[in-house]
Amino acid sequence: MDDMSEYKEMYAVEAAEHLQSMNEALLNLEKDTENSETINVMFRAAHTLKGMSATMGYTNIKELTHEMENLMDSVRKNKMKLDSAAIDILFECLDTLEKMVENPENCSQFDISGLIRKISLLSEMKAETNEQPGTADVTHENDKSDNIDMEKIEDGCTILDITVTLHESCVLKSARSTIVMRNLSELGEIIETNPSIKEIEDEKFDREFKIVVSTKEEAAKLEKAVMKISEIAKVEIKPHEGIQAKAKVEEKSCAPDSNKTAIKSVQSVRVSIERLDSLMNLVGELIINKIRLMQLATVHKLDVLEETLASLNRLTNELQEEIMASRMVPIEQIFNRFPRMVRDLAKKEGKEIDLILEGGDIELDRTVLDEIGDPLVHILRNCVDHGIESPEIRKQAGKNQKGTIRLTAKREKNHVVIEALDDGKGMDPQKFRETAVKKGILTQEEAAKLSDNEAINLSFMPGFSTAEKVTDVSGRGVGMDVVRTKIGSMGGSIKLESTKGTGTKIILKLPLTVAIIHSLMVKVGKDVYAVPITNVVRDLSIRKDQIKTIKGEEVILIRGEVLPIVRLHKLFGIDTNGSEELLVVVVERGGSNIGLVVDQVIGQQEVILKNLENHILKGVRGFAGATILGDGNVALIIDVGTLL
Amino acid sequence: MPGKILLVDDAAFMRMMLKKILAQSGNELLEAVDGSDGVAKYKEHKPNLVFLDIVMPNVDGIECLKQIIAFDSNARVVMCSSIGQQTVVNDAIKIGARDFIIKPFDAAKVLETVSKNLS
């Protein structure tokens, strides 16, 4: 086992899983301290993690999990009860474990002695209070073999003294001796042992023990039977001196339990996400090349080629779907960390909160999942910090003292919608208007024009958030522009709905995958751009003279609604043909719509996102990335949220 | 003579460690992810040797051992134990486990166990 490096990754993945299941178990134990199945889950996870860590030589992790395992073992054997103090300590242990597991090589730098002391204090205290007469755990199982009835020996039997010496590296000496005796009892009868069987089982001997056996077999055969066992250093067999005896040897009851039906488990292998990323990328390239081929076939009218390409097309589509499917992970992987987080936050702020999670089985691309973790944490924090009121205030308002946050994921066609709904104090649109004016973001008139919904969506404006802290608007919006930027960069969208006094709802609409973005392709000047379909409301065509100007901003009137428009060619500084007919793509942005004026709408297409984060697009607002088109040209993918 | 060895452990990490060690032994290696899977795989493949973890979800190692022994009283099962589990190991031996090894695994001891139990 000289080369441990290849196991590190696997260790990290499994250790994280065990930490997660311990976290969940603890949260459940907090509600129901006597649920034996949950106690067992906790015990098993600690035990398995201990074993893994010992294998890797991560001593501190091993020791801490060992203490936790012991504690849980006492609990499951009803030697002690879990109270809130014990649960708090276990949570502390988990926090420390999490840190150590993150960088297990350096786990020795953590001081775990305090935690271990706390645990042992806990078990001592409990042991004292629980140790009443009669409850002590005494085993009587093998007492009977201590007193062997001496009777006359069966004919043809010889009595042998067998002295067995265990190897010095042997750890479980009693278990090893039990095997020795079991093997010997298959060849004869054990009359006596020295030390006694009970003492051997309690490991009250050094490395050597003696067994007196009555057998019809040859001494050599017995010797072989013992030497076959692992960790045996030496066996000596001599004819017995002294009394000839025969003993009754206890039989082992091993009544087999009725066969339970075996549960089939799914075969799986672990694949690193990098490998899936590069597979996805390769399929992307393949599709681009396929599109090029198809265009060539059309241009040169090659019917034969087109037939072949049709089946190639089907194959690449299937390949793409399979790879996409293999990248999907249930959203509960990140939902799982929230109960603990909300619990801790609520406890810190003296609030009572029920977090309800729904739709954890909805699957999302791994990359999307990684990206939405932080935004969701942010949103939930806001719910706890500023949404849910303190129990007293809630009582006064005639609400249930306990607030509720409901986090729901559901699948809608090609995207996943995540809603965070709280029954807290909601947002006051008037305060948002006032703050916007105070901050100089809007004029008095502009602010007055905003609908209530538009007003609260101001919280997505960059710079609005800093105003929050000093002016204490309804409290929401700290860093919400960061959240929107993140969601937008994945081709998703975010919306806020709130009613003052009754609560707030934040709706995230996310693509299933970031690698492939379903887009509406448009042309501005000579260039093609992709607008993620999640943002698109509709497209329409207008005449130039329909454009009106209100306060220097161009708008159009559709069905009685004022729709601000943005001419993309102006924004991008590109020449345009200037025809009388204008095409407008209406997109949704932070709860309101805007029209993007383009030269041509090409149609819908799946585009493969090429990550340009580290290249030219880094820090450029308005674009989520780029894609390569079938003809080899590059098209930028518009991020509506940050475009303006 | 190469045989079939079944590794029953819910921790893929532990199975991998064992696999790595046992790869040198030239035996065919099978895996099961918990006790119930272990019993099913035993019945399906009738391995020559089983490495059986004790602490597992669903069906634990002891229960799995009982079911394997009930199915095949000559089954050769090696318990994989941690220090501090002697009572359980003793129970397992009384039920019919042939041998045991201690985690963390020592490659030499694991291989010794295989050669002693497969001969």
Q: Cα angle vertex A556, ends A553, A558, to 5°?
A: 150
Q: Is residue B71 part of a domain?
A: yes
Cβ–Cβ contact A264 with B under 8 A: yes
pLDDT tens digit sequence for A561-587: 888 888 888 888 887 766 778 889 999
Q: What is the pLDDT of residue A161?
A: 87
Residue recorded with tokens 């988990």: A94
Nearest to A605 by CA among A625, A628, A583, A622: A628
- Residue A629's Cβ-side half-sphere holds a number of Cα atoms within 13 Å equal to 18
Asked if A242 is an interface residue toward chain B (Cβ–Cβ < 8 A), one would say no
Query: Does B82 sit within 8 Å of A47, measured CB to CB?
Result: yes
CATH code, B26:
3.40.50.2300
Position A611 confidence tier, pLDDT thresholds 50, 70, 90: low
A254 or A358: which leads in pLDDT: A358
| CATH classification code of A337-511 | 3.30.565.10
- A38 to chain B: closest CA residue: B57
- The one-letter amino acid code at A416 reads V
In a domain, B56, yes or no: yes
DSSP helix/strand/coil, A609: coil
Q: Please say if A382 is a catalytic residue.
A: yes
Q: Choosing among A230, A249, A257, which should be mutated to test the B contact, i.e. which has the most B CBs within 10 A? A: A230
The rounded Cα A89 to chain-centroid distance in angstroms is 23
User: How many Cβ atoms from other residues are within 10 Å of residue A202's Cβ?
Assistant: 14
pLDDT at A254 over 80: no
Residue B114 lies in a domain: no
Per the domain annotation, does B115 fall within a domain? no
pLDDT one-digit tens code per residue, A56-98: 888 889 989 988 988 888 888 888 888 888 888 899 899 999 9
8 Å CB contact between B95 and B70: no
Residue B111 included in any domain: no
Query: Which residues are within 8 A (CB) of A386 and not within 5 positions of it... i.e. 6 or more apart?
Result: A424, A474, A475, A476
Active site residue A140: no
Give, as one character, the DSSP assignment of residue A241. Answer: P
As assigned by CATH, the class of the A149-239 domain is alpha beta
User: Which residues does A311 contact at the CB level (< 8 Å), separation at least 6?
Assistant: none
Q: Which of A10, A43, A203 lies at the smallest CB-CB distance from B12?
A: A10
A198 touches chain B (CB under 8 A): no
In the predicted structure, residue A476 carries a pLDDT above the cut 50: no
Query: With contacts defined as CB-CB under 8 Å, which chain A residues touch B17?
Result: 1, 7, 55
From A24, A63, A67, A69, the catalytic residue: A69
Taking 70 as the threshold, does the pLDDT of residue A554 lie above it?
A: yes
pLDDT at A264: 44
- Model pLDDT, residue B50: 95
Coil, strand or helix: which one is A419?
strand
Domain of B44? Answer: 4-103
| Residue B77 placed within a domain | yes
What per-residue confidence (pLDDT) applies to A613? 55
Q: Does A266 touch chain B (CB under 8 A)?
A: no
For B11, the closest of A52, A229, A254 (CB atoms) is A52
With CB atoms and an 8 Å threshold, state whether A230 touches B99. yes
Instruction: Compare all CA atoms of chain B with the CA of A46 and give the residue at the minimum distance.
Output: B55
Does residue A47 have an active-site annotation? yes
Measured between beta carbons, the chain A residues lying within 8 angstroms of B86 are 172, 174-175, 203
Q: How many domains does chain B have?
A: 1
- Best to test chain B binding among A257, A263, A266 (most B CBs inside 10 Å): A263
Average pLDDT, chain A: 79
Which of A52, A176, A252 has its CB closest to that of B14? A52
Cα–Cα distance list, A365 to A222, A415, A600 (Å): 62, 11, 32
pLDDT tens sequence across A483-534: 887 888 777 888 888 888 889 999 998 887 767 778 899 988 888 999 988 8
Catalytic residue, candidates A60, A63, A189, A382: A382
B117 inside domain = no
Whether B20 is in a domain gets the answer: yes
Report the residue from B20, B82, B90 with minimal CB separation from A174: B90
Q: Which architecture, in CATH terms, is A516-643?
A: Beta Barrel (2.40)
- Which entry of A23, A24, A47, A415 is annotated as an active-site residue? A47
Instruction: Return the residue of A nearest to B119 by Cα.
Output: A228
Superfamily of domain A5-128: HPT domain (1.20.120.160)
| pLDDT confidence band for A286 (50 / 70 / 90) | confident
Average pLDDT over every residue of A388-392 = 90
